[in-house]
Amino acid sequence: MLLWIARTMLALLVSYPLVSAVRASGMIAGPEGDSVLFQPGSLLLLELLRVGGPWLSSAAELSLILLGLAAMCELIPLAAALDLLSKPDRPLLERGARAMRLFPRFVALGVITLLAQAALLLAASLLGAALKPALATVDERVRSLAPIALMALGLVGCAWFGGALDIARATLVRRAAEDGGARAALAQAVDCLRQRPMRVLLGVYPSVAGSALAILAATWFLARFAPTQVTGRALTLAFATHQLAMVFAIAWRVRWLGAALELSAESD
């Protein structure tokens, strides 16, 4: 519930500039609201992008800045959630103080992991481009599938590094705030990844797959059963469906965080 509340509030904050820009355009001032933008064959969406382009561009830049700040702020409830899973009987004030102390180290771990994941994806892209001349004489299907396979391997590597990141976070939470820093926790997480690669990957996979399933199921349900007219019932149904999908995804995320704590303890 802690992660759900934090993510919902931060998501509303990030989306607010874009919603305000769309409202300022006047395209959704009619009785049907923003549903006119997504009707089959509607040209109002293109007209919105043409007329409100400058407003939408400025709002998107502000939303991206807020998204970065929100991603950093979300590390505090994440640290508190890991601490709650590790020590359920700790007082709330002490838990919050520990989360604040761990925040700089969580940020450092996130930056290191993002750089490593970006390097993996860049390497996969460059390798795919380098293999094109070598594959010029092979079957066309092989030439088409090779870049996709390399990018898939890069994404698997990103998932492994993401799992190592959570194990490093779990290590920091389990230890006292003064025992070791982000580098020592990441080194232990990488060692755990080296010794138990499949356990890490198979532990992360349900979290990623659960999130994707929740988003796709919510999209399918609203496209099939949501009323076409903008009413209080339609808005309530859409909001409830989105929040249910988010809670489902977070539940799988929490399951993986518990597994990360176990892997961290085993790698001591």
How does pLDDT run along the chain (268 residues), one tens digit per residue? 889 998 889 989 999 998 888 888 777 777 667 777 777 666 777 777 787 778 888 888 999 999 989 988 889 999 999 889 888 888 888 888 888 888 888 898 888 888 988 998 898 888 888 877 777 777 777 777 888 888 888 888 888 888 888 999 999 888 764 556 788 888 888 888 888 888 888 888 888 888 899 999 998 998 887 766 666 777 788 889 999 999 999 999 999 999 999 988 888 7
Q: Where are the domains of the chain?
A: 1-73, 74-266
User: Structure pTM?
Assistant: 0.79
Tokens 């080296």 — which residue? 194
pLDDT value of residue 222: 84
- What SS3 state is found at 36? helix
For residue 71, which amino acid is it?
A
By C-alpha distance, which of 118, 17, 114, 122 is closest to 71? 114
Whether 18 and 56 have beta carbons less than 8 Å apart is answered as yes
Q: So what's the pLDDT on residue 180?
A: 62
In 90-226, the DSSP E strands lie at none
Distance CA 65, CA 140 (A): 42
**Cα gap 219→225, rounded to integer Å:** 10
Half-sphere exposure of 236 (CA within 13 A, CB side): 3
Burial class (CB in 10 A: 0-12, 13-18, 19+), 143: middle
Tokens representing residue 87 in the block: 């020590």
Joined together, the tokens standing for residue 21 give: 């820009």
Do residues 242 and 218 lie in contact, with contact meaning Cβ atoms separated by under 8 Å?
yes
| Structure-token pair, residue 238 | 């859409």
**Number of H helices and number of E strands within the chain?**
9, 0
Q: How far apart are CA 216 and CA 111, in angstroms?
A: 29
Contacts for 24 with CB less than 8 Å, ≥ 6 apart: 52, 55
* 8 Å CB contact between 152 and 120: no
pLDDT at 176: 60
In this prediction, residue 228 carries a pLDDT of: 64
The rounded distance, in Å, linking the Cα atoms of 159 and 204 is 7
Largest CA distance in the chain: 67
